[in-house]
Amino acid sequence: MAARPSAAASTLHTVESDGAGMRLDAYLSRYLGEHSRSEWQRLLESGSVTLDGAQSKPAQRLTGGETVEVHPVADVPLLEPDPSIHLDVVYEDDAIVVIDKPAGLVVHPAPGHETGTLVHALLARFPALRDPTGEMRPGIVHRLDKDTSGLMVVGKTAPVVAELQRQMREGGVQKRYRLLVAGVIQENRGTIEAPIGRDRMHRQRMSVRPDGRASLTEFWVLERFARYTFVDAALPSGRTHQLRVHFSSIGHPVAADRTYGSGRAPGGLMRQFVHSAQLSLTSPATGRTEQFSAPLPADLERALSALRGAERVAAPVESAW
C-alpha cells in the first residue's frame, strides 16, 4: 500500500556529520526515530521521504550535510481491527505483549492475506498500536510461519520494537522450539551450522547455499520413535524457515512439512510439527529477564500420542557430546 505526499508542510532535517557512511534508512531510524526502520524503508520507496530533493533508496549511503525532507503522508486506508480473532495473551506490561499464536494464523497482512491476521487481532485488543501512516506490521518484532504455533513477543511502541530487535541481534532473546522430524537422529545433541538464502529455483522457498546468511541451530533429542525423532531446538540465529531448512538439509525434514519434506506425518497431523515453546527476553518496561513457556497444542499432542501408542521407541544411544 503506497503512501502519497500530501499538500501540507514538509519537515526538513540536515544529516549530521556522524551519519556519514550510514544507510539512509538506518540513519532515519536512529536520528529521527518516529518510525521503525521497515516503515522508513516503505516511506522512502513510496517517495514520501526525499534526499536533497530526490527520491532515494533505503540503502543510499550518506556523506553528511544532505537535506532529508519528510513529506506528510496523505490519508491511507487503515487496517481494520478484527475483534473476532481470539488472542491468547501470556504476558503483558507497559512495553511488551507475549502471545501464544495458534497454528493457521498469518502474522501480518500480505498478498492473499489482507484480512484476518494477527495484526488485525492486535489492533482490536491494543488500539494504541495503530500507526497512522499505514504501517502493516505494527508492533511485530519477529514472525512465525502461518502453520507454526507458539510464543511471540510484540512491542507496544517503535522504540520498544527497536530495542527488542537489538536484543535479538546481540543474543539477548532466547527461543526454544519443539519439533518432530522424520527419521531417527542418532546423536543425543547436535548443531547444524549452514548458511541460508533464497532458493534460486523456487523463490518462495529458502535453501542452504554457500552465499547465504550464517545460520546456527542447536538441538537436543527428547524422544525417539521407529520413524521419527522428537526434538528440542534453539536458534542463536533466526532466518526465515530456519528449522525446516536445516533439518531437511541433514535428511530429517519436519513431520508434515510439504515444502521441505514429503509431508509424511503421524496421527493425521495436517500441519508442520513446529511449536515455539519457550521465550526469554528482557522487558524494556521492567528491566528484568522474563521467561515464558507454552505447552504443545492439542493437534501436536495427538500426533505424539499416536506415535507412543503405535511405534516402538528406539533404544537411546550414548551422546557424542
| Domains of the chain, start order | 11-70 (3.10.290.10), 89-310 (3.30.2350.10)
Q: Look at strands 149-155 and 274-282 and give their pairing.
A: parallel
Helices (H) and strands (E) in the chain, counts: 6, 15
Q: Which of 294, 258, 239 is nearest to 147 (CA)?
A: 258
> Which amino acid does the sequence have at 179?
L
CA distances (Å), 166 to each of 15, 161, 282, in order?
A: 23, 9, 11
Give the number of C-alpha atoms closer than 13 A to the C-alpha of residue 208, restricted to the C-beta side: 16
Q: Percentage of residues in the chain with pLDDT exceeding 70?
A: 89
Mind listing the pLDDT tens digit for each residue in 238-293?
888 999 999 999 999 999 999 999 999 998 899 999 999 999 999 999 999 999 99
Mind listing the pLDDT tens digit for each residue in 184-223?
999 999 999 999 988 888 877 899 999 898 999 999 999 9
145 is known as an active-site residue: yes
- pLDDT: is 39 or 121 the higher one? 121
Q: Looking at residue 135, what is its pLDDT?
A: 58
Mean pLDDT, the chain, integer = 87
Residues 253 and 261: beta-carbon distance below 8 Å: yes
Average pLDDT, integer, range 132-147: 77
Angle 173-176-179 from CA coordinates, rounded to 5°: 155
Q: Looking at residue 76, what is its pLDDT?
A: 46
Mind listing the pLDDT tens digit for each residue in 56-79?
888 999 999 999 988 876 544 567
- Annotated catalytic residue, options 25, 100, 131, 145: 145
> Which amino acid does the sequence have at 50?
T
Question: Could you tell me the pLDDT band of residue 6, with boundaries at 50, 70 and 90?
Answer: very low
- Report phi then psi at 53, rounded to 5: 80, 0
* Res 150 pLDDT > 70: yes
